[in-house]
Amino acid sequence: MKDVIVITGAGQGLGACIAKALLNSGFRVAITDVSQDKAAAAAQTLSEDTSLVAGFKLDVTQKADFKQALSDVEAYFGGVQGLVNNAAMTLTTPVMDVTAEEFDNVLRVNLRGTLFGCQVFGAYFADKNYGRIVNMASLAGQNGGTASGVHYASSKGGIITMTKVFAGHLAAKGVTVNAVAPGPMDLPIVHELVSPEKLAHLLDNVIPVKALGSPDFIGAMVTQLVSRDAFGVTGATWDANGGLSMR
């Protein structure tokens, strides 16, 4: 049977694109979202074959939810081989206007949610002596970003560091932990958060390739990192930022 990959926050946006890429590459996919209805609808949109894709409820701010989702997915598919920590809260509040509550809310979803996923699924994978974890970071976590808020950028920088910590901890157990760091993507959320004028400026004057990134390509990158052949890659952050940050 094909490996089963769990994706958090996959009811829409980039998570849904990653789910589609995985499904098209032969993986079985568990779509999770804080909304059970949204997860189920996304799964049905991808395929009517319920043996290949299904939706599950998962609030990433609750460690108990990760444990329950793992139990539910394992019972449904017979096992789990990979996790994509994708769920995120994206805000663009000006740096001097970010409140303590807003800062905490973003880090609770983005950073703490990734921590819980790595802990719960990492322990499960280590016990099985195999697993793949991919954490969705961001260009914002490397250079502060082009339009993101300080809380978002800080959380994504933390995810890059967290990826290295868990990679080192789990490597001997056959579990790889990597991150993908996209720049501005051609997604509805980007068009919602960035004004047409600012987006035009970014494309004309800031992004070297003068184009927003492809969500489908990000899906292909994740697909590679969760493959069985990816055993030699761990603790890495793969960039896809249109040349905004070169290293």
**Catalytic residue numbers, as ranges:** 152
List CB contacts of 84: < 8 A, sequence separation 6 or more.
5, 6, 7, 8, 10, 15, 18, 133, 134, 135, 136, 222, 226
The C-alpha atoms of residue 76 and residue 71 are separated, in whole angstroms, by: 9
Nearest residue to 109 via CA among 83, 87, 79, 133: 87
DSSP assignment of 193-233, as one string? Answer: HS-HHHHHHIIIII-TTSSPBPHHHHHHHHHHHTSGGGGG-
Answer for the pair 132, 22: CB distance below 8 angstroms, yes or no: no
The token duo for 166 is 């868990």
Nearest residue to 92 via CA among 184, 16, 172, 215: 184
The C-alpha atoms of residue 59 and residue 120 are separated, in whole angstroms, by: 14
Answer for the pair 95, 145: CB distance below 8 angstroms, yes or no: no
The C-alpha atoms of residue 247 and residue 232 are separated, in whole angstroms, by: 21
Nearest residue to 42 via CA among 64, 17, 61: 17
